[in-house]
Amino acid sequence: MEEIIIDTIRTERVFLPEADAGQVELSILRLDRIHPLISGNKWFKLRLYLEEARKLGKKRIITFGGAWSNHILATAAACQLNNFECTGIIRGEKPANLSVILQSALKMGMQLEFISREDYANNKIPPVHDRDDCYFIPQGGYGILGAKGAAGILDHCARENFTNICCAAGTGTMTAGLMNAALASQRVCSISVLKNNHALENDTRQLLDNKEQSADFIHDFHFGGYAKYDSSLIRFMNDLFQRTTIPTDFVYTGKLCYAVSRLCKDNFFKTGSRILIIHSGGLSGNASLKKGTLIF
């Protein structure tokens, strides 16, 4: 298993015609570079949970997710690297063919427990382990420690150079961390990748140091819902790669970059804004696309 190499994080300028049109400057923080599986924000979100589990002397990490969850994959990899046993409680019946993500998680030593959607929704955990040995991480790493870990993302760039910070949002944990770490003069823009997830604002607020702080939450770029996509998104991702050599994933960062480029074009950002896009990783999810869909 490859180590996580935090030093590979860097900020790159991104040149897009839409940014020129909107008279803004774009940069991207490449968290995707630290590890092929524990992609970007997932490492930041997991870090403090694992630290706490270690302090408490726990042997096994238990967490939750769907069959295509980057969080499950990242947790499996992080546990292998940090010598924890781990269990993934997976939503839904066991399918005949495991997803690429679950196959990898299994290979890295994660024990998989499939539970019905109903039990999953009710947080019913199969009685498989001595609970005293186990440390539970919520689905998606959502929680105060997850947000605290995600706040560390901005330690890896010159944050004072930017007026706006844009990120993709699932649970809102990273958004909250970025809001907590942002300077008073900066505004966070959070692009929801789920359809009509209007709980996002409130879920994010629960994790804020200052509950009054606001951000831009944008719900117009989900492309039909979580992990849904169309040809315009794929075309955009291929174009972006051709122009910039930056690979994105179709679940999170592709939608984020698409959104930012559209928002620039629509003059959402003030003239002269300097925008930092958080490349939160997730590239391994592209393995579920048919070969040849993406040019990278």
Ligand X SMILES: *Cc1c(COP(=O)(O)O)cnc(C)c1O
| Contact set with ligand X (CB under 6 A) | 39-42, 70-71, 140, 168-175, 249, 252-253, 280-282
Give the helix, strand, coil percentages of the chain, each rounded to 5: 40, 20, 40
CB of 125 to ligand X, least distance (A): 21
Strand-pairing partners, residue 275, are: 26, 164
d(CA 139, CA 203): 13
Q: What is the radius of gyration, based on Cα positions, of the chain? A: 19
CB of 218 to ligand X, least distance (A): 13
Given the complex with ligand X, which of 253 and 273 has the nearer CB atom?
Answer: 253
- Give the residue nearest to ligand X (CB): 282
CB of 249 to ligand X, least distance (A): 6
Tokens of 209: 């140091």
Given the complex with ligand X, which of 80 and 175 has the nearer CB atom?
Answer: 175
Residue with tokens 């524990």: 38
CB of 84 to ligand X, least distance (A): 20
Given the complex with ligand X, which of 22 and 281 has the nearer CB atom?
Answer: 281
Given the complex with ligand X, which of 80 and 197 has the nearer CB atom?
Answer: 197
Residue with tokens 């046993």: 85
Residue 179: closest CA among 149, 160, 151? 151
User: Residue 30 in contact with residue 11, Cβ under 8 Å?
Assistant: yes
CB of 21 to ligand X, least distance (A): 26
Given the complex with ligand X, which of 22 and 285 has the nearer CB atom?
Answer: 285
CB of 190 to ligand X, least distance (A): 8
Query: How far apart are the two ends of the chain, measured CA to CA in Å?
Result: 23
Contacts of 210 (CB under 8 A, 6+ apart): 180
Given the complex with ligand X, which of 93 and 209 has the nearer CB atom?
Answer: 209
